[in-house]
Amino acid sequence: MKSDAIKKGPARAAHRSLLYALGMTDSEMKRPFIAVVNSFNEIVPGHIHLRTLTDAVKAGIRQAGGIPFEFPAIAICDGLAMNHVGMKYSLISRDTIADSCEIMLTAHAFDAVVFIPSCDKVVPGMLMAAARMDLPSIFIGGGPMLPGKYGKENIGLSNLFEAIGTHSVGKMSDDELRAMELSACPTCGSCSGMYTANTMSCLTEAMGMSLPGAGTVPAVYADRVRLAKMTGERIVELLDSGLTATQIMTEKSIRNALHVDMALGGSTNTVLHLLAIARECGYELTLEEINKISCKTPQLCKLSPAGPAFITDLNESGGISAVMAELAKAELITTDCPTVNGFVADRIAKNKGADNIVIRSVEEPFAEDGGLAVLFGNLAPNGCIVKKGAVLPEMMKHEGPARVFNSEEEASEAIFAGKIKAGDVVIIRFEGPQGGPGMREMLSPTASIAGMGLDNSVALITDGRFSGATRGASIGHVCPEAAAGGLLARVQENDIVRIDISERHIELVVSEEELSKREPVPAPDRNLRGVLSRYQKNVDISSRGARVID
C-alpha cells in the first residue's frame, strides 16, 4: 500500500507518532488510508449539505475496512460570482482544485480517494486530479437542486436571470420578480437545470467514475445518502482490485461521455473541461473530434434551459443509464468500458432506454445531431462553441452588424440601456483565458437578451464563456482570443458577421485587403497581481482546455 511510506518500518517511527496523535489504534494503522475530499462550504448552495454525504461516505469506508481521512477543497458558486470581478476566478479555481488535491494526496501517501464535489469547476478539477494521481478513485457529488415553482410552472436559476431582463423592459413588476427570486432555488444542491454542474456530474457517471444514479439523484433524497455509503464501501473494493482512475478514464470512456453530452444537450463548458481532463489522462482530444461526435449523435433530451424538463425529470426517466442504453441501440456507446462497479454493459443491460417523453428514442430524437456544435471560420479558425440544442430555429442562420464591446460590463450596460436592436451581433472581446483573464461566464447579458425577447433576433459572440444556464445564439470560446491576436481584435462596429450553426460556420464578412489594413485593438492593461497574473502568464488556449501549463 502507498500509505506504507508513512507507517511501516523502524524508519517511520516519527511518522507513526504523528498518526497516533490523531487517536489512531494499532489495528487502524494496518488498514488502507482513504482520502475523502470534501468541498463543503457555507456560501454555496450546492455544497452546504456535503457534510452529511461525507459522513455517509466515511461510514461506508469504515464498514468496508478502510480508514477515512477527510480534507477540504475550495468551491466557487458561479451564480454568486456572475457579472462582477469574482467570475475571473471561477475557471482558475478548477486548476487550483486539481493542484491542491495532488498536493494533499501525494504528501500524505494515500492509498485511494473519494471525491465529493458539486458545482461547475469542482467536478472537472477533481476529475483532473483523479487522472493525474491515478489512484483508485470514485466520485459522489452533492446532487441537483429541486426545481422551484412560479405559478404553475417549474423554474430554475436561468429563468430568474432572464426575468431580470424582462423586468428591465417593464414586462415584469417588482413584486413578480421578488416572488420568483424567493422560489427559484428551493433546496440545497447544484442548480436544477442541465447547467454545467449537473452536466459534469452526469458525464462523470457516463465516464464510469461514479455509481449509477450519482449524476441525477436529487440532493435532498435519501437515495443520495445511500449512494454515498455505497461509494465509501466501493472505494475499498476498488483498492483491493487495483483498479485505478486512468484504467476507467480511457479514450473510449471519454468518448462515451461526449456522446452522452451531445444527447443531453449539456453546457458548453463541458467541452472546455473534457479537453482539459482528456489531456490529464494523456489523450489529445481536439475540437475536430468533438465536432465529429456531435455530428453523428442525436439529441435525445431538452432539459432546462433548452426545454421545460429538469434533472429531476431525467432521474425519474431512468437517468444516465437510460440515455446510454438508448445511445447503445445506435452503437454510439462502447459497452466494454470498465466503471467503478463492473462494465458499462452491466449498467444498461436491464434498462429499456427512452421513455419518449424526457428521453426520446434514437429513431425520433429532438435533433439528428448533438446539442453542442463547434463552429469554424475566419473569426474562429481554432473553433468556438454554441449550445445548438438551445438555439431557436430562426437563429440557426443569422447575419447582422457587429456591436463591439471590450468587456462584459460595456455590453451589459448597452443591453440594459436598450441600445441593442433586432438583427445585431453583439461582440464581447478581451474576456478569454488570457485577456480576461479567467474566461468569464456571461449569463447576465445572454439572459437579459432572452428576457427582453431578443433571443430570436440577436446573436452574441465572445472569447469568454457562457453559463450552462445560457440559451440562444450565444457563441463562446472563440479561439484564438482577441488578446492573443485573434481576428476578434480587428472587428469594427457595423462589420457584418455571418453565422450558420447547421453548417458549423462563422465568418466576419470583411475582405482580406481591408483586414490587412486594420491594426488589432490592443488588449486592456489589467494591472494584475497575484493569482490572476500567474494564470494569465501560464494558461493554455481554450481549444486545448484552458489548462494552466508549465
Dist. CA 140–CA 128, nearest whole Å: 15
Task: List all residues 6 or more positions away from 341 whose beta carbon is below 8 Å from its beta carbon.
Answer: 211, 212, 234
CA 340 to each of CA 201, 233, 234, 278: distance values in angstroms, whole numbers, following the listed order: 15, 11, 8, 18
Single out the residue of 92, 549, 538 nearest to residue 280, CA to CA.
549
Going by the DSSP 8-state scheme, the letter that residue 524 receives in this structure is P
C-alpha distance from residue 406 to each of 177, 526, 550 (Å): 30, 12, 29
Phi-psi map region of 487: left, alpha, beta (phi>0 left; psi -120 to 50 alpha): alpha
The single residue of 118, 467, 474, 542 carrying the catalytic annotation is 467
Among candidate residues 390, 326, 312, the one with its CA nearest the CA of residue 355: 326
Whole-angstrom Cα distance, residue 134 to residue 427? Answer: 41
Distance between CA 160 and CA 260 in Å, rounded? Answer: 27
Between CA 171 and CA 449 the distance in angstroms is 13
Angle at the Cα of 123 from the Cα atoms of 158 and 162, rounded to 5 degrees:
5
Cell of 172: 415584469
State residue 215 phi and psi, 5-degree precision: -80, -20
Residue closest to 379 by CA, chosen among 202, 484, 256, 508:
508
CA angle 95, 101, 107 (to 5 degrees): 135
Euclidean distance between CA atoms 340 and 15, whole angstroms = 32
Q: Of the candidates 395, 512, 402, 503, which has an alpha carbon nearest to the alpha carbon of residue 461?
A: 402
How far is it, in rounded angstroms, from Cα 224 to Cα 146?
13
The Cα 416–Cα 477 span in angstroms is 24
Q: For 435-549, where are the alpha helices, taking DSSP H only?
A: 443-451, 512-517, 530-538
474 flagged as catalytic: no
Does residue 225 contact residue 56 with C-beta atoms inside 8 Å?
yes
CA distances (Å), origin 171, targets 174, 271, 453: 10, 35, 10
SS3 252: helix
> How many whole angstroms separate alpha carbon 323 and alpha carbon 196?
18
Cα angle 144, 145, 149; round to 5? 140
Residue 36 contacts residue 68 (beta carbons within 8 Å): yes
Active site residues: 467
